[in-house]
Structure 1
């Protein structure tokens, strides 16, 4: 009887622990970096619009949904703007969700901020530490439970870091989010973190680990396929550790690495990996671009425009706010968001772009892959590609913005002026003295310290000859910021512009090269993709296959909408294949599924129109399958994938199976031998598995007769 009572008590405790636990959070409204200059000289980063919503709203919305009880927003630079925004928002009036601000003008790093919070004595228990540029929809329940259980057993377990399996293109040195390649050593059993390094240049292609370290920790796996989400569950000791160590400034470079290297204090850091949930931080312009696309493509649901901004949604990822004026001849392409009160003129084409509130876009304008904030004016005949335009920018008629351009607040681009790739323009002149500490986001604290005009000035309303342009545009306004030689070589890395084709080839080839791990006496190190036997391993494999298919589909759709060359798509799919450790047949199946789904999603009113859609897509993109169809078995896999589509996600194809099969045969995607072998393999199958073979009997008979005639 006693044993049964104890068992019930144990179950009750576990259920209680898994329930949402009200907890406090610290939100750092300063990122303490300079990556968004010159924009952040005028506005705090957390108030910059991300798909027409201030970044901080995504973070607060997530914390509220995760049952956080109280949030302390730490404000430093531009603190008045942040406090004013929060006071005018609805965040201060939410039931069961308290938002309070802590203001300081003397902090220059995250370490300084946490030391000040410790002095205020507002945190007494475990808390969430997050920056105000974080977008996530993850549930904290399981991560909090794991942290609490570890704390129960070991008081030295002071932090749990949330990590996520990287999206495939992040495996290369140039990551999808524009951050350095990250290396972590994690115990596969306990999830304890033993090693953390994000300075890829220090490795020079190799990583050295001590033999004794590996001998003492045989279950360690080395990862460079994990993304740090910068969401931390911390014990109160974290704040006191910052207070005791004034050299702790950066959360990762100083604090995390400092604890991992400290053998005396014995504090431990653990990880919690999320899989299907979303979490990412807007760290630079490239991650700004990537996360914006994820929001538009609804990876962040429910943090999407129709929920946050009550926008109407249309097919192909088009969002439209109220009071939008659009000419009938204007064309709004896929994955585009248009803000309230904006207008679009005749014959203008907009695609893959975010348009803010109150923008005026003229006639015959082309906008592709741009982020246009509020009250921007773009006159007739302009061409903009992959650029950022802040509030109040004016682009006069005939001007061209080449990929990577950033125009800060109220900049004016003159008539017919060509703004070169990666140009940065601001009404504020570039500081002569750059901040020596890279932790600093803005040292001005609402004042422009050490800012004097540079040679890249505007005189008499014209931009200087630093523009690569045949003519100087009339009526221009702004300073052209220069970049150092080092930054100039890799300016593509942190830009919203697509990675140049030459870099894609270079990075994809680098992904094929195994990480050279130099170990003393060459002890064996478990690989991160090694799975334990059992059902959990099988489930992980299925999950990986689903994620892989979604990634390939997203890559294919982007290629269709942006008209990317086939060779570049194949390079990206190869990178995905390596990341997920998939076979060629998996690539063929995933690409085929993407094509069939696109045909199904393309408007049609009859079976004949669906076949026509399929024919058009296969004709245009079918060659993508060729590199992955190396043999008859691979082609049979495609047929079986089509069977699966007909029975599950695309039942509308079921009565058209043989017509599509013949279409694939006529397009030289599927060979005669593959169809005949597929039919032969089905001979001993159950009747339920022969549905499509029977539907294809006449076609199969025709192939057999044709084969006999050839013999």
Structure 2
């Protein structure tokens, strides 16, 4: 977590004292938007505000407040609209935040008449509570950013540019990063030298296809020599704002949203003449993302369990009533959890206090709340069971969410994307189809006994499509790739931006502007993603296919089918298939190592043991074994020298144990390939063992022949 700052490090506005003297106001204030004014979490948010929904069994708002506390901020305003009374009650009943020793002074500002972020900001300005620069943050942010670096960047830009009014925090992410927004992707045009934001535009996909942005170059007339277009950035709505931000909202009542209206409006205004800068975190240990959809809810939950957000992990026990302990394989359990002797608790699983797990039950990549009763022979995978819920014997839950105080009967099948609201009851032997949402109360809905059962309690929720901006309905095939995660959205990748130039503007400018794109790099393993107009790029699509399979734990046959279909459609060789497969596996290994999730040996063993089997359908001859080894050494040599030897040794040994690489071909490659000798130093021990084993076998065969 970022070190706590002393007040003197923060912005220090000057106010008038009682006798007219200047007094330094040492407060640094933060505004927390507790409502996103969206319906993506319906029907859950019809009962509870989004900021109080549980993430790894902790209310979302706790992650935001933890960041503010560790940033040295001492006064926080919670802008409350929807379910404001619940938020007020939560803060009042918190032993940590509502006590004399509380590190934060928290004030709930109720704005019931607000219907957008713009309305809330105007209401806050009317109250006159903000005295200087302030932090504006969404109440669904999970981050361990070092605030001191952000503040230093903001103050430097403010000193250099008198028109600077806003610093946006953006987090660099790979094209396939799970917490990137596929619902609201956006492009940022930045000055390469200063990170000044020159243009912003959202780029939603059109019918699942790639989109483009049109830039009027008049907007870039005052820009520097080098510009970059980025859409590889996670915008988690953490901003440092100056006071003119509030007055700008006040003067422009058509500004309703923070990005599409305010930021875009400021950047394109001929009157305001204000500037916006972007602070881009390049520290791999820093994590920042918003729980903006069910897809990111699932992704961030798994990131927390995998300890990528450290120290924001369950065993840090952020709230006073938590008692989690960490066990091997990313398993977390609280006190008084009862586990049957034959149940299996597998990787990335969290179980809350007083929960009971029955005989023969299997739980994997899932979170079980407090006081839950899970029956016998239940299968729960990639699912989230909130507090006080009951799951009957023999039920099967896959990529689903169960709200608090709900009852799922015996032998119930819940398919991917299904959401069961608070206090719902599903009868025995029922099947909940993909993406069906069920709520407790439904005055405007019809009960469906075929789905919830005769003794069930609940109604099928159907959103008002005119106003509901939640994820669109997907088919079962689309859903099973991950919780509310649509594969078709991956069409909107970092190669999907086409920039168009104005020829008249080009002639007027004597200098040429160089547009560059971002690159995706994990330590020394680099997969470049350049701005191209080509739609068919096997390297990009193949890499995406394998990484998607690993991240969503697909079965290998499905991954191979997708990859082979792609190979045939683009008419590439198996060499290219082997290349993207190796790059994807190494990328995942580096992720594990760089986030301190696993040691190099463990990470390589895990990935190659599970996914190295793909090469059985990619390597068919002795020459192809040699080619696989050549690709392996070339790609591993690009990794960090601290562990690339270990990765090579383990990967070759595992592929040998899987009978993908034969002893004779390994030895032949070793004799012929003299490159990257330093990387091979550890592997030499394995080669020596193979040679000795080969000699012993030859001697035994010779003795047998003589006999």
Alpha-carbon spacing, 1:510–1:136, altered in 2? closer, same or farther (3 Å): closer
Greater Cα offset, 372-381 or 35-44? 35-44
Is residue 180–residue 234 contact of structure 2 (8 Å, CA) maintained in 1? no
The match for 1:91 among 79, 90, 97 is: 97
Three-state SS of the structure 1 residue aligned to 2:347 is coil
Q: Mapping of 1:249-328 within 5 angstroms? A: 249-275=256-282, 276=284, 277-308=286-317, 309-328=322-341
* Other-structure match for 2:214: 208
What CA distance in whole angstroms lies between the structure 2 residues aligned with 1:74 and 1:597? 37
* Other-structure match for 1:457: 446
1:665 is displaced (CA, Å) by 8.8
Q: Alpha-carbon deviations, 1:327-358, whole Å to 9, x = none?
A: 11111121111110011111111111111001
Q: Alpha-carbon deviations, 1:217-255, whole Å to 9, x = none?
A: 332211222221210010111111112222222111211
What CA distance in whole angstroms lies between the structure 2 residues aligned with 1:88 and 1:191? 43
Is residue 187–residue 194 contact of structure 1 (8 Å, CA) maintained in 2? yes
Determine whether 1:364 maps to 2:364. Answer: no
The match for 1:127 among 134, 137, 141 is: 134
TM score, norm. by length of structure 1: 0.76
* Other-structure match for 1:412: 425
Q: Alpha-carbon deviations, 1:347-381, whole Å to 9, x = none?
A: 11111111100111111211111111010011112
Alpha-carbon spacing, 1:665–1:318, altered in 2? closer, same or farther (3 Å): closer
Is residue 178–residue 494 contact of structure 1 (8 Å, CA) maintained in 2? no
* Other-structure match for 2:413: 400
Alpha-carbon spacing, 1:512–1:630, altered in 2? closer, same or farther (3 Å): farther
Alpha-carbon spacing, 1:365–1:150, altered in 2? closer, same or farther (3 Å): same
Is residue 481–residue 554 contact of structure 2 (8 Å, CA) maintained in 1? no
1:181 is displaced (CA, Å) by 2.3
Q: Alpha-carbon deviations, 1:186-213, whole Å to 9, x = none?
A: 1111111121122424797332223444
What CA distance in whole angstroms lies between the structure 1 residues aligned with 2:347 and 2:654? 31
Q: Mapping of 1:591-606 within 5 angstroms? A: 591=585
What CA distance in whole angstroms lies between the structure 2 residues aligned with 1:111 and 1:512? 30
What CA distance in whole angstroms lies between the structure 2 residues aligned with 1:631 and 1:512? 33
Is residue 206–residue 518 contact of structure 1 (8 Å, CA) maintained in 2? no
Is residue 379–residue 395 contact of structure 2 (8 Å, CA) maintained in 1? yes
Three-state SS of the structure 2 residue aligned to 1:260 is helix
Report how many aligned residue pairs link the two structures.
630
Determine whether 1:81 maps to 2:86. Answer: yes
Is residue 305–residue 319 contact of structure 1 (8 Å, CA) maintained in 2? yes
Alpha-carbon spacing, 1:497–1:393, altered in 2? closer, same or farther (3 Å): farther
Q: Mapping of 1:512-523 within 5 angstroms? A: 514-521=496-503
What CA distance in whole angstroms lies between the structure 1 residues aligned with 2:345 and 2:485? 30
* Other-structure match for 1:667: 659
The match for 2:34 among 18, 24, 29 is: 29
Three-state SS of the structure 1 residue aligned to 2:76 is strand
Alpha-carbon spacing, 1:65–1:30, altered in 2? closer, same or farther (3 Å): same
Alpha-carbon spacing, 1:368–1:177, altered in 2? closer, same or farther (3 Å): farther
1:153 is displaced (CA, Å) by 2.6
Is residue 393–residue 412 contact of structure 1 (8 Å, CA) maintained in 2? yes
* Other-structure match for 1:195: 199
What CA distance in whole angstroms lies between the structure 1 residues aligned with 2:226 and 2:52? 43
Is residue 211–residue 521 contact of structure 1 (8 Å, CA) maintained in 2? no
What CA distance in whole angstroms lies between the structure 2 residues aligned with 1:366 and 1:691? 42
What CA distance in whole angstroms lies between the structure 2 residues aligned with 1:16 and 1:54? 27
Q: Alpha-carbon deviations, 1:496-535, whole Å to 9, x = none?
A: 954489997755566496533332339676444468xxxx
Alpha-carbon spacing, 1:259–1:652, altered in 2? closer, same or farther (3 Å): closer
1:669 is displaced (CA, Å) by 4.0
Is residue 423–residue 480 contact of structure 1 (8 Å, CA) maintained in 2? yes
Is residue 658–residue 696 contact of structure 1 (8 Å, CA) maintained in 2? no
The match for 1:477 among 451, 457, 460 is: 457
Structure that is richer in helix per residue: 1
Is residue 457–residue 478 contact of structure 1 (8 Å, CA) maintained in 2? no
Is residue 387–residue 497 contact of structure 1 (8 Å, CA) maintained in 2? no
* Other-structure match for 2:16: none
The match for 2:70 among 47, 65, 73 is: 65
What CA distance in whole angstroms lies between the structure 2 residues aligned with 1:307 and 1:380? 33
What CA distance in whole angstroms lies between the structure 1 residues aligned with 2:566 and 2:311? 28
1:424 is displaced (CA, Å) by 1.0
* Other-structure match for 1:373: 386
Is residue 58–residue 134 contact of structure 1 (8 Å, CA) maintained in 2? yes
Is residue 162–residue 272 contact of structure 1 (8 Å, CA) maintained in 2? yes
Greater Cα offset, 407-416 or 69-78? 69-78
Determine whether 1:638 maps to 2:627. Answer: no
Alpha-carbon spacing, 1:542–1:661, altered in 2? closer, same or farther (3 Å): closer
Determine whether 1:491 maps to 2:484. Answer: no
1:562 is displaced (CA, Å) by 7.1
1:283 is displaced (CA, Å) by 1.1
Alpha-carbon spacing, 1:595–1:394, altered in 2? closer, same or farther (3 Å): same
Three-state SS of the structure 1 residue aligned to 2:371 is coil
Greater Cα offset, 271-280 or 554-563? 554-563
Alpha-carbon spacing, 1:530–1:115, altered in 2? closer, same or farther (3 Å): closer
TM score, norm. by length of structure 2: 0.76
Alpha-carbon spacing, 1:124–1:369, altered in 2? closer, same or farther (3 Å): same
What CA distance in whole angstroms lies between the structure 1 residues aligned with 2:387 and 2:471? 32
Is residue 415–residue 474 contact of structure 1 (8 Å, CA) maintained in 2? no
Q: Mapping of 1:609-620 within 5 angstroms? A: 617=610, 620=613
Q: Alpha-carbon deviations, 1:609-642, whole Å to 9, x = none?
A: 9999999657745448759x97956623524777
Q: Alpha-carbon deviations, 1:256-298, whole Å to 9, x = none?
A: 1111110111011110101321111111211111111111111
What CA distance in whole angstroms lies between the structure 2 residues aligned with 1:593 and 1:195? 32
What CA distance in whole angstroms lies between the structure 2 residues aligned with 1:352 and 1:16? 39
1:307 is displaced (CA, Å) by 0.5
Alignment RMSD (CA, Å): 4.8
The match for 2:160 among 153, 156, 175 is: 153
Three-state SS of the structure 2 residue aligned to 1:59 is helix
Alpha-carbon spacing, 1:112–1:149, altered in 2? closer, same or farther (3 Å): same
What CA distance in whole angstroms lies between the structure 1 residues aligned with 2:35 and 2:604? 54
The match for 1:422 among 435, 451, 456 is: 435
Is residue 596–residue 614 contact of structure 1 (8 Å, CA) maintained in 2? no
Three-state SS of the structure 2 residue aligned to 1:565 is helix
Is residue 570–residue 624 contact of structure 1 (8 Å, CA) maintained in 2? no
Is residue 354–residue 371 contact of structure 1 (8 Å, CA) maintained in 2? yes
What CA distance in whole angstroms lies between the structure 1 residues aligned with 2:250 and 2:651? 71
* Other-structure match for 2:243: 236
Q: Alpha-carbon deviations, 1:27-59, whole Å to 9, x = none?
A: 111221121122112111111101100000000
Q: Mapping of 1:695-710 within 5 angstroms? A: 696-697=687-688, 699=690
* Other-structure match for 1:442: none
What CA distance in whole angstroms lies between the structure 1 residues aligned with 2:563 and 2:213? 30
Greater Cα offset, 33-42 or 331-340? 33-42
1:92 is displaced (CA, Å) by 2.5
Three-state SS of the structure 2 residue aligned to 1:200 is coil
